[in-house]
Amino acid sequence: MVLIRIPDENRKIDEPKEAAKYLSELGIVYEKWSSEYSVDGSSTQEEILSAYSKEVEDLKKSGGYTTADVINIDERTPGLDDMLNKFNKEHWHSEDEVRFTIAGRGIFHIHPENGPVIAVEVSRGDLLRVPSGTKHWFDLCEDRNIKAIRLFQDKSGWTPYYVHEGVEGQYQPICFGPTYIRH
């Protein structure tokens, strides 16, 4: 269930169609994929890629993506803080950032060229396609876990180009989504 917050306008969008429309105006694709598949946080990469093979193949064709994998991050991930510190500083890539969330949740902040910074919270069933060149950063929610399919145009292209303007420090990476369970 996606939730968009626009902190500078004190505004929230939690209706999926409205969220997709807002994002599409920024060039970002949002889709809600069916959760009828019996994959969850305990499923293997092979099970997940197999369950979503049709959707993944369709995306590959439409976006020129060549490979897909599954990223799985939780408290037990070695070097978790170092990894998160690479994601949570404003940056952009020379290829699209495409993520489909299987389990867990996270928050993308997106900094459009013309318009306010938005926070997009994603959880199970949410596909987000952020076009190349778009400034963004990513944080986990407090429960610090996410499992997601990633698609790449060129796997070696996952290079973050950091902006170094400190914009991320102006926004609290706190999740508010309705599926968020506080511990």
Contact 92, 123 (CB under 8 A): no
171-183 as b/e, with b when 16 or more CB fall inside 10 Å?
bebebebeebeee
Contact window for Fe ion (CB under 5 A) among 8-16, 23-31, 53-61, 89-97 = 89-97
Choice between 97 and 121, CB closer to Fe ion: 97
Number of residues that make up the chain: 183
CB of 171 to Fe ion, least distance (A): 16
Choice between 97 and 139, CB closer to Fe ion: 97
Contact window for Fe ion (CB under 5 A) among 48-56, 93-101, 110-118, 146-154 = 93-101
Which residues does 45 contact at the CB level (< 8 Å), separation at least 6? 69, 70, 72
Contact window for Fe ion (CB under 5 A) among 15-23, 26-34, 60-68, 94-102 = 94-102
Helix (H) or strand (E) holding 84: helix 80-87
CB of 65 to Fe ion, least distance (A): 15
d(CA 70, CA 148): 5
Choice between 11 and 86, CB closer to Fe ion: 86
CB of 160 to Fe ion, least distance (A): 6
AA letter at 104: G
Contact 5, 12 (CB under 8 A): yes
Binding mask 146-165 for Fe ion (x = CB under 5 A): --------------------
Contact window for Fe ion (CB under 5 A) among 19-27, 28-36, 92-100, 112-120 = 92-100
CA 146 to chain centre: 10
The tokens for 78 are 């070695």
Binding residues for Fe ion, per CB under 5 A?
97
